[in-house]
Amino acid sequence: MSWFEALVLGIIQGLTEFLPVSSSGHLELAKSIFGDKSLPSESLMFTVVVHGATALSTIVIFRRETLEILKGLLSFKWNEELRFSLKIVLSMIPAATVGLLFNDEIESLFNGQVLLVGSMLLITGLLLFLADKAKNTKNEVSYSNSLVIGLAQAIAILPGISRSGATIATSVLLGVDREKAARFSFLMVVPLILGKMAKDLKDGSMIADPSNALVLVIAFVAAFITGIIACKWMISLVKKSQLRYFAFYCFAVGILAIFTSLYV
C-alpha cells in the first residue's frame, strides 16, 4: 500500500465512521478500486490502526462524557454517571456477542463483497430516510432502548450498514432526542473498538511490518483529524434533521456498487 492510498483510506475512515454512510463499506469499495492485495493480517493491522484513530477522536470530542462513564463504573454509587455507564455496557452486549461467536464468518464478508456492500447501503439509506421523518423529542436513552440500539449496532457489523447511521436512526425512531442519540451512538462504540484491538493484539493475528510504519502513521493521522471534523459536523446535522441527504447518497452509491458488481 502506498502512502497516497493510506492517506485516502484514512480520510475515508475518519469521515465515514461518523457520517452515516458505512465506513466498512466505503473502505471495501476503496480497496476494490485500488486493487488491494494485502495479506489478511496486514489488512487487519491497517483496519485496527484507522479504527483506533477514530476511537481516539471520539474520546477527544467527548472527553467529559468519557470521564463520566469511567467515574460511573468506578464509583459504585447509584447516580446518573453509573446509570449512563450501565446503558453503554448494555448497548455493547449484542455486538460483542456476535463478534465473539461469529468472528471468522464476519471477516469473510470483508473481502471485496461489492454486491453485499451495495445492497446494505440501500438499507442504510432507508433507515436514514425514515429517521429524518421522525418527530423531534427530548427523551433520554432508556435501558431497554440501549439494548435495542445495541442490536442495531450488531447488525451494522455487516459491510455497507452504517454503524452510526443504524444506531442514530434506531434511537430517533425509538423517540430519543436527536443530539442525545448522536452522542450515545458515538460513545457506545469506543469500548468495542478498544476491546477488538486488544483481542487482535493478544491473538497475534496482525503483522507489524516496520517498512509499513510510515503508511500506518499517515493513515492514523488522516483518520484522527478527519474523524474530529466529521464527529462535530454529524452532531450538528442530526440536530437539524438533515439525514435525508445521506440517505440519497447511500441510495446512489449502493445502486452504483450493485450495477458495477453485476455488469462491470
Task: Report helix angle 114-133 to 163-173, nearest 10.
Answer: 30
Q: φ and ψ at 112, to 5 degrees? A: 70, 30
pLDDT, one tens digit per residue, over 90-145 is 999 999 899 888 877 877 776 667 888 899 999 999 999 999 888 888 899 999 99
163 vs 156: CA distance, rounded Å? 5
**For residue 40, what is its C-alpha cell?**
489478511
Mean pLDDT of the chain: 85
Give me the pLDDT at residue 39, please: 43
Query: Whole-model pTM?
Result: 0.84
Residue 227 has pLDDT above 90, yes or no: yes
DSSP helix/strand/coil, 109: coil
CA separation, residue 182 to residues 172, 200, 233, 240 (Å): 9, 28, 11, 12
At a CB cut-off of 8 Å and minimum separation 6, what does 123 contact?
160, 161
Scan for cell 442495531, then name that residue: 152
Helices (H), the chain: 3-16, 23-34, 40-61, 63-75, 80-101, 103-108, 114-133, 143-155, 163-173, 178-203, 213-239, 244-263
Amino acid identity at 175: G
In sequence order, the β-bridge partners of residue 139 are: 176
218 vs 195: CA distance, rounded Å? 23
| HSE toward the beta carbon, residue 174, CA cutoff 13 A | 22
- Residue 19 per-residue DSSP state: S
Residue 252 has pLDDT above 90, yes or no: yes
Give me the pLDDT at residue 43, please: 66
pLDDT, one tens digit per residue, over 40-91 is 455 667 878 888 899 999 999 999 888 888 887 777 778 888 888 899 999 9
Scan for cell 433520554, then name that residue: 140
Which of 233, 21, 231 lies closest to 127 in space, CA to CA?
21
